[in-house]
Structure 1
Amino acid sequence: MRTTQRPTAAHSTDTDVTVELSGCEAGDAHAVFGALRTAFASDRASDDRPQEVTGERPTVWSATFDVAEVREKAGPTRLTSPVVADVQGGYWAVARLQEALTWAFAVEVLGTAAGDQEQEAQLRLDTRRP
């Protein structure tokens, strides 16, 4: 069941969702985080751009979004290649973030893991086709 109604006080959950991106270009990471910053408040400044890091280890970009209130719907956003996003938060919060991602991208759920209070989801994001 998919719901975008905010939990009541009796069933309150955290509204923060952590998003991690890896294995993609810095520009694509910036596009994903930018679309999410359009919709939600973030722990990252609007001018904070992901930077490429050289070395043997993969680069992981991370940001946290407060999905309590939608500021504005992000429009379709172009990616140079598909991006895999790992998201973690309360059930309602993850569902709300996932819905917001569908405004900007084609979203495919690759997998989920359920916990007592939180959910993890792996999402494949791609440019939406008309």
Structure 2
Amino acid sequence: MQPQHLVLFALACGFALGSGGFSQDAAADKLYKVVDGMADARTYNGYRRYHGGCNHCHGPDGVGSTIASSLVDRPLDIENFRRVVRDGQSSSENSFMKGFADDPNFAPYIDDIYAYLQARADGALGRGRPKRLEP
């Protein structure tokens, strides 16, 4: 991915960093569930999928890199995130992110990746591989 494409991807995924636990009265729009630093299956899978490809440009744990922006600092809503990941986006001649609509490693898991990045942005998950909640 090119830096600018990743920036857009980051904006779609982006949220604030931090650490903490899951709030029982969390908003219904949260796709993740984190309890005592342990992530539900969707969020854990999002971590795995993110680190299977997105991290090459957006850096470990969504914090950004020299070629792409942080995905946890500037959040997009879920619909815009889905659109950018599926279709890609170009914001300038030097800023481009290809779309992943046809990539079987990412397209079916966009919401999982979003859940992981949302948990990172909200401070529910810290850096590194989260432990998985048992079903």
Report the TM-score when normalising by structure 2.
0.29
Higher strand share: 1
Q: Choose 1 or 2 for highest CA Rg.
A: 1
Greater RCO (Cα-Cα under 8 Å, separation 6 or more):
2
**TM-score, normalized by length of structure 1?**
0.30
